[in-house]
Structure 1
Amino acid sequence: MESRAAVEALEGIESSVAALAVCVRGAAGEVAPTGVDPAGGDPAGGDPVGLDPLRDQADAFLDGLAEAGRMEARLAALKVHLAAGYAAAAEALAAPAKSPQEHTAQEMAVTAEVACVLTVSERTAGALLCEARTLTAGLPLTLAALQAGTISWQHARILCDETANLEPAAAAALEAHFLDPDAVNPARGCPAGELVPGRFRAKARAWRERHHPVSIETRHTKSAADRRLEYVPDRDGMAWLSAYLPADTAAGIWDRATTAARALQGPAEARTLTQLRVDVASEWLLGGVMEGTPSPTAQVLVTVPVFSLLGLTGEPAMLDGYGPIPPSMARRLVADGAASIRRVLTDPRDGAPLEIGRSTYRIPTALRQWLRLRDGRCPFPGCNNPSLDNDADHLLAWADGGTTGISNLGQPCRMHHRLKHTTAWTPVGATANESPGWISPTGRSYPSEQQDWEPPHWPEPPDHAREDLARDDRDWEPPDWPASFDSLERFEGPGGLDGVGSPLPVDPFPDWALFTAA
């Protein structure tokens, strides 16, 4: 079985080698370059291939990098098949274990052999064997994607981690959500392999939290008992101070410290945002709020399914910048009425955002909060910069005819905001519910990560409804859509977030376009 799979993996590597050879020779000018987009034509949308040798060479280098990445993934798949095949062969060759201790000794011998062959530690070899066993026995879609080169070895390891301790059906559902396009409610936005591993882990973990067989309330109660503050000395007169605490508290502290650090920035301030953030937190912890240090309130968005907010279902809520939280935590945040918390209700019909608190409707803050809700973070591919640190920006400049609507707005971090205004990187394709993708100076398109909104759970029918169903075989239907929800505008049309007259937070880089033009 593994022998045949290894042969198929080797055939994939051979095709990658052939394609890579064409790219490398094209980069060296030995053959006609092949740098074309999937639809055909020049990737940069300019001259036909061959008329600009330098552009063709640059495209060949990029195509070679992409093919090298696919070959690395295929090599990893071959490594998995070989490791799993050796483990199975060694087990067949060994005499039946007469005790658990003897079985453990046999496994140790296999691990030691693999470690010596690869010149790695036994711990690393043991992890490889464990992951090989998981991929070959329980994650066929993941192994197939790795062998096809559409995901990396890091992505495959993340799926092994996030499916650990799940029942086979739950593990298969998580894997299908990201790798099977025909799955019920598959992952939205760019494919799993086009997300950087860190962002893919966040999305996989969020989906796992929402669909874990053990309720998040139960798991949170157990984990909250382990909250603690840790101190670890380090080199050069430095130390690490970390806290393990409930997510809503941690998010509020982080956002408040970031806002205070932003307020201290200016021409006369030499400290970086990272340095200011830790200095502000240190001052607060050691002596309270010191003179000259702002003490702003945090601005945290919590997205709550309507029926979960009412206590009718146990679905997790989503805390901006963190992920799923227990519904009891979300209900407490909303009930406390804290100014730092903005609650976002979701539509019981499709899971889409329904409205942001009425106190912030039709004011500049609403636009920024909607962008935070839509994007979650800087929409540049792979960027993990949180929403609070990002800028509101027109995709198509107002001076060029761009409107002030949600579909023409982005919230890039300051680095990628500068990238947009000073280079040919261009954000495109934003909608009310989808972040903009990006087109590079070479004309290649890179999709942005999208939020995985899910239809919420409907509450179970009451007992009297169950009795009616049993008596006359009627189909129970969820309660009528409340008229009060129909009256809520969804930030569309004239005067809403898609209206030309909508307000926009001040662009902190208004002069970049003039600088570029000059």
Structure 2
Amino acid sequence: MESTDWSADGRAALAAVGVLTVALDSVTGACADADGGGPSGAGDAGPPGASVRRDADPLRELADDCLDGLAEVARWEARAAALKVRLAATYLRATEAVAAPAVAPHDAKCQEMAVTAEVACVLTVSERTAGAFVSDCQALTRGLPLTLAALTAGTISWAHARIIVDETSGLDPAGAAGLEAHFLDPAAPDPARGCPAGELVPSRFRAKARTWRERHHRDSIETRHTKSAADRRVEYRPDSDGMAWFSAYLPADTAAGIWDRTTAAARALQGPDEVRTLTQLRADIAATWLLTSGLADGEVAGGGVPSPRAQVLITVPVLSLLGAGEEPAVLDGYGPIPPSMARRLIAEGADSFYRVLVDPRDGAPLEIGRSSYRVPKAVRQWLRLRDGKCPFPGCNNQSLDNDADHLLAWADGGTTGISNLGQPCRKHHGLKHSSAWTPAGASKDAPPGWTSPSGRHYASEQQDWEPPHWPDRLQAMVTLLAECVPEDPGPDPDSELPPDPFPDWRLFTAGHPWPATAMDDPGWTEPLEDPWLEDLLLQHG
């Protein structure tokens, strides 16, 4: 970018700051009046643009206007973050332009530290935080134009923008552009399914962005996993109030198996006489398993209750399962894993893992592997596969810990089909039955959305399936076969009709007249003397 371009960009950002300040001041004053801080009182005014209908409840109107105001302020916060990015980037370029050339690497480092310290003082943050902010600003302005444009438009938040910066940090320019286009460009060849990026809570958006990154990274997931597995470790960190953190960095299948088995055991111990929460039970069970050789009567983990076996879904592309492809599989509750890990779990007969094959044409699930046929169990597994987690917007509770629930109650005529089922977590299951929040709109492939008491509908996050990548050798074979098999053109509408195979049918019928009784008497019931004519009458009524 030329110096005149970025200096003009900086001046435009400064002008936008003034406009934003005036707009925020006007809303702040209006909200103060609506709260009773102004002379008009609580029922006389609302946010700009709000009109209270005479036939409507003024308090309901005020509540709706406040929700609209919150959404608008969130968009302004995103725009303000975009202005901070442009101002910081312009400041960096301006200081680079006026600074004296660095004679040694030490001089360049000192100049960078001075600039970061200045930004930290202006924003009243630590230098470490300011350094991360400066790095994000450079990434957004230099290589992520779609992200910066979405932030400027207010369609994504600063948290979403930072996630894109993080997930594109290890990608080449083409990969970074592909990730941006997938989530932010509706006209992209393969746009993301389900909710737009800005309508996902940041943690859920990070999961989707990470999944896309794992599939499209220039280095295969096998190579990166082999390198990272060497860093596995257990960490211990003291905390306050006599507590400490104990954590383990493990391969995904091992960690997921530990978590799901601990959750299943904790759920088995819940009951009317158990006062511990599910979170406390998980911690107690894990501690008991690590510190003892097993569960004995009277021990803290529950007095000898056997641990149920966890059932984890593994979604595997068919070609990866056969060893013909290197696309990652997906471990329920975690995300992408190397195909070698999935093949090992399936080959070793890990009966706590359920295999889900993926169609190589469009990425949709083909079938769920199971050792015995039980309809409720199969439906529940398909429900977990469809939703992946609690379908309430923003909820991150994974499917193993959720309840299968009829959207339309069985007593009201609801069926047990997949389109009438959801799997909310305990919290949002209770919310459905104790409030006006209602789920609806599920299908075979999409989880239900939710309608709030105010009448606003919030779509649920969908699985972002995409067609698997065919290895070059297989793609060449498919192309060759398609060229070898001639395409059937079908009938030509302009061609002549084929010749009549029985051109003398009139002469034949003339020599075999219909009997008068059969032709003239409606009540005729006698059999015909000619068997051929009898068969013909039976065939043609």
**CA offsets 1:423-480 (integer angstroms, 9 cap, x no match):** 00011111111111110000011111111101012233369959x96xxx98599xxx
CA distance in 2 between counterparts of 1:135 and 1:403 reads: 49
Q: Could you tell me whether the CA contact under 8 Å between 1:347 and 1:354 is conserved in 2?
A: yes
CA distance in 1 between counterparts of 2:26 and 2:327 reads: 47
User: Where does 1:39-118 land on structure 2 (aligned, <5 Å)?
Assistant: 51-118=56-123
Verify: 1:443 aligned to 2:448, yes or no: no
User: Where does 1:222-371 land on structure 2 (aligned, <5 Å)?
Assistant: 222-291=227-296, 292-371=304-383
CA distance in 1 between counterparts of 2:484 and 2:337 reads: 30
Instruction: Answer with 53-62 or 408-417: which moved more.
Output: 53-62
Aligned length: 464
Q: Could you tell me whether the CA contact under 8 Å between 1:12 and 1:147 is conserved in 2?
A: no
Verify: 1:400 aligned to 2:416, yes or no: no
If the length of structure 1 is used for normalisation, what is the TM-score? 0.84
**CA offsets 1:205-224 (integer angstroms, 9 cap, x no match):** 11111111110000000111
- Which residue of structure 2 lines up, in the alignment, with residue 165 of structure 1? 170
- Which residue of structure 1 lines up, in the alignment, with residue 389 of structure 2? 377
Gaps of 5+ in 2: 1-5, 36-41, 297-303, 486-541
Q: Could you tell me whether the CA contact under 8 Å between 2:151 and 2:161 is conserved in 1?
A: yes
CA distance in 2 between counterparts of 1:464 and 1:375 reads: 35
Query: 1:55 deviation in Å?
Result: 0.6
Q: Against the structure 1 CA distance between its residues 95 and 324, is the aligned structure 2 distance closer, same or farther, given a 3 Å change threshold?
A: same
Instruction: Answer with 397-406 or 384-393: which moved more.
Output: 397-406
Which amino acid is 1:146 matched to? L
CA distance in 2 between counterparts of 1:194 and 1:346 reads: 27
CA distance in 2 between counterparts of 1:63 and 1:19 reads: 15
**CA offsets 1:164-186 (integer angstroms, 9 cap, x no match):** 12111111111111111111221
Q: Against the structure 1 CA distance between its residues 259 and 307, is the aligned structure 2 distance closer, same or farther, given a 3 Å change threshold?
A: same
Q: Could you tell me whether the CA contact under 8 Å between 1:344 and 1:356 is conserved in 2?
A: yes
Which amino acid is 1:186 matched to? P
2:469 to 437, 440, 457: 457
CA distance in 2 between counterparts of 1:327 and 1:159 reads: 25
Query: 1:289 deviation in Å?
Result: 2.6
Which amino acid is 1:13 matched to? L
1:3 to 2, 10, 14: 10
Query: 1:355 deviation in Å?
Result: 0.5
**CA offsets 1:259-286 (integer angstroms, 9 cap, x no match):** 1110111111111111111111222222
Q: Which one has more relative contact order, counting CA pairs under 8 Å at least 6 apart?
A: 1
If the length of structure 2 is used for normalisation, what is the TM-score? 0.81
Q: Against the structure 1 CA distance between its residues 31 and 237, is the aligned structure 2 distance closer, same or farther, given a 3 Å change threshold?
A: closer
Q: Could you tell me whether the CA contact under 8 Å between 2:257 and 2:310 is conserved in 1?
A: yes
Verify: 1:213 aligned to 2:218, yes or no: yes
Which of these two proteins has the greater Rg computed from alpha carbons? Answer: 2
Instruction: Answer with 100-109 or 449-458: which moved more.
Output: 100-109
Percent identity between the aligned chains?
69
CA distance in 2 between counterparts of 1:167 and 1:431 reads: 38
Q: Against the structure 1 CA distance between its residues 314 and 35, is the aligned structure 2 distance closer, same or farther, given a 3 Å change threshold?
A: farther
Q: Could you tell me whether the CA contact under 8 Å between 2:167 and 2:210 is conserved in 1?
A: yes
Q: Against the structure 1 CA distance between its residues 93 and 375, is the aligned structure 2 distance closer, same or farther, given a 3 Å change threshold?
A: same
SS class of match (2:473)? coil
Q: Could you tell me whether the CA contact under 8 Å between 2:14 and 2:87 is conserved in 1?
A: no
Aligned residues: CA RMSD: 2.6
